[in-house]
Amino acid sequence: MPRLEVAGGSLHWEAHGAGPPLVLVHGSGGSALSWWQQVPRYARRYRVIVYDAFGFGRSAGDPTARHPRRLPGDLAAVLDAAGIERAALVCQSLGGWTGLPFALAHPERTAALVLSGSPGGIVTPGIARDLMGLPERMARRPGLAGMALAEDYPQREPARTFLYEQIGALNPPDVIAAYGGGLAEVAIPLARLAGFAAPTLLVAGEHDAFFSPPALAEVAAAIPGARLRVFAGAGHSPYWETPDAFDDEVLRFLEGVGPWPSSS
């Protein structure tokens, strides 16, 4: 699979299928492998790009270069390497800090945006409250799966929980903290959303331990034209926990956007 040289290291990326370009951007608990349920289905209609964000999975580089400010530029580099001028973006959790800043900086390159379990850098009163309570929730629900999945998911789906944890274990142990520590530095002022025109869907799990549906509803209200879809029974990762319902919603949304060429 291709490797792309970027500042401080390199990125692993892959392309699957054919059609309008669609990029799947993973969260801090995974890598490109996390989209194993989505890629085969989406690739029937789209040219699907997945990649390991800097410092995750098969991407490597200087640990001191891990910071969320680099994420939109790395996405631009992946698109350039794939020969893509314009794409739709589906972004999970930390991936939202890639997708929304990229869409704001490059509206001509963004056909549509899906933010899953992610405010994308927007801080509303509800998001601020969720962030303040995060340490207590993390202490009560330790471990990667403890926060990323609904509390009862490991009992309901032990095999899928094991796979989730194994994929996450491929990442360096300090990479989540490295990115999390810089998120406050890349917060997006609400004023920057004026005139934002990319079709946007927010996705939330009913039992998300990071960002609650009411807080993400505030984010959706702040993004012009955005709407929110909440998945019953899911936690922070509906793409993983309820993949059929998640995929149906995302594909309907993208179909509503209509086909988009790879060039602007």
Tens-place pLDDT, residues 5-23: 999 999 999 999 999 999 9
- Output the CA–CA distances (angstroms, integers) from residue 168 to 14, 150, 194, in the order listed: 19, 16, 36
Q: Identify the pLDDT of residue 199.
A: 98
Question: In the predicted model, is pLDDT for residue 263 greater than 70?
Answer: no
The H-assigned helical ranges of 106-242 are 125-132, 134-140, 144-148, 153-156, 158-168, 175-180, 213-222, 238-241
62-91 in b/e form (b: 16+ CB < 10 A) is eeeebbbebbbbbbebbbebbebebbbbbb
Contact 48, 24 (CB under 8 A): yes
Which residues sit opposite 110 in a β-bridge? 87
Band of residue 261 on the pLDDT scale cut at 50, 70, 90 = confident
Contact 129, 211 (CB under 8 A): no
Q: Where are the domains of the chain?
A: 3-257
Q: Collapse the DSSP code of 45 into the 3-class scheme (helix H, G, I; strand E, B; otherwise coil) and give the result.
A: coil
Question: In the predicted model, is pLDDT for residue 126 greater than 70?
Answer: yes
DSSP class of 194? T
Half-sphere exposure of 124 (CA within 13 A, CB side): 19
Q: Identify the pLDDT of residue 1.
A: 65
What percentage of residues in the chain have a pLDDT greater than 70? 99
Question: In the predicted model, is pLDDT for residue 88 greater than 60?
Answer: yes
Question: In the predicted model, is pLDDT for residue 2 greater than 80?
Answer: yes
Band of residue 143 on the pLDDT scale cut at 50, 70, 90 = confident
Q: Identify the pLDDT of residue 129.
A: 96
Domain 3-257: CATH superfamily is: Alpha/Beta hydrolase fold, catalytic domain (3.40.50.1820)
DSSP class of 188? B
Question: In the predicted model, is pLDDT for residue 264 greater than 80?
Answer: no
Average pLDDT of span 117-135:
95
Q: Identify the pLDDT of residue 140.
A: 87
Q: Are strands 9-16 and 47-51 parallel, antiparallel or unpaired?
A: antiparallel
